[in-house]
């Protein structure tokens, strides 16, 4: 994420998960865990003095990702901050509602590269359950609306909406990415194959499988191999030797 081939079949089977919920349109930064543990605010050992939780605190708790005690922030968990503390990332957020938050990818791989994040914490696509169908549908609807806006600005752009078969960051997120792949952040084979191969799963296919079978599974060994395959133009399929040659080719390839 902070980093066309035909979309692969996605098979699925997953156990039930909590019912869908969502964040409200904002957050006031209250840390429910710190509130619980602070004796001065009615923490552990003083339940009779614990104040009623505000709506904002309840929202923060419902959107927050589970944390191991003592664990600090890292690239793997970095997306959580945009949902849990949107007030700290206003410059990066392009849309926010009760269900999802949309941000600009910090290391975009194309002219337009947006991430649609689920406000309710879902680790990744492999943890999707039937209860998550409305959430994923809404995320795709928002992606479609944003694609329409981007096309109004530049009708020459072509977009794909999808998910990585093996996500590199936690919290369910959908990529909306233009197919020009014109970006200095697109640097290596892994970057390219993450978005221009079958590793990039069609979001509508993922939704379809979730609705049909109740969950999503992938062949990890297969997709790890896809990341290592030769560089191929996503338009004409020609194989290129390295990234500079690939970038030079796709800048002119019209197929």
HSE at residue 177, side-chain half, CA atoms within 13 A, is 32
CA distances 93 to 56, 86, 87, Å, are 19, 8, 9
Three-class SS of residue 31?
Answer: coil
Angle, helices 133-153 vs 203-213, to 10°: value is 160
The CA-CA-CA angle for residues 102, 105, 109, to 5°, reads 135
Is position 173 annotated as part of the catalytic site? Answer: yes
**Dihedral Cα 163, 84, 142, 159, nearest 10 deg:** -40
Among residues 113, 138, 173, 191, the one annotated as catalytic is 173
Q: Which residues fall within 8 angstroms of residue 205, CB to CB, at 6 or more apart?
A: 7, 8, 9, 10
CB atoms within 10 A of CB 142: 21
Three-class SS of residue 141?
Answer: helix
Catalytic residue set: 173
């Amino acid at each position: 994420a902070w980093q066309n081939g035909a979309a692969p079949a996605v098979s699925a089977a997953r156990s039930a998960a909590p019912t869908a919920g969502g964040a409200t349109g904002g957050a006031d930064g209250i840390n429910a865990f710190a509130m619980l543990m602070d004796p001065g605010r009615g923490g552990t050992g003083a339940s009779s003095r614990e104040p009623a939780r505000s709506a904002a605190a309840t929202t923060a708790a419902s959107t927050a990702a589970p944390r191991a005690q003592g664990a600090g922030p890292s690239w793997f968990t970095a997306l959580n901050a945009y949902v849990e503390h949107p007030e700290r990332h206003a410059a990066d957020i392009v849309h926010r509602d009760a269900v999802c938050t949309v941000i600009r990818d910090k290391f975009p791989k194309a002219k337009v590269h947006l991430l649609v994040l689920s406000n309710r914490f879902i680790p990744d696509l492999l943890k999707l359950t039937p209860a998550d169908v409305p959430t994923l549908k809404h995320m795709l609807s928002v992606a479609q609306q944003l694609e329409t806006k981007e096309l109004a600005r530049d009708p020459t752009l072509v977009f794909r909406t999808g998910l990585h078969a093996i996500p590199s960051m936690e919290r369910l997120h959908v990529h909306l990415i233009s197919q020009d792949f014109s970006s200095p952040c697109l640097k290596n084979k892994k970057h390219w194959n993450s978005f221009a191969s079958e590793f990039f799963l069609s979001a509508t296919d993922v939704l379809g499988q979730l609705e049909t079978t109740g969950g999503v599974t992938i062949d990890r060994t297969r997709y790890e191999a896809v990341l290592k395959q030769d560089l191929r133009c996503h338009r004409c399929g020609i194989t290129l030797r390295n990234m500079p040659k690939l970038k030079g080719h796709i800048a002119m390839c019209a197929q």
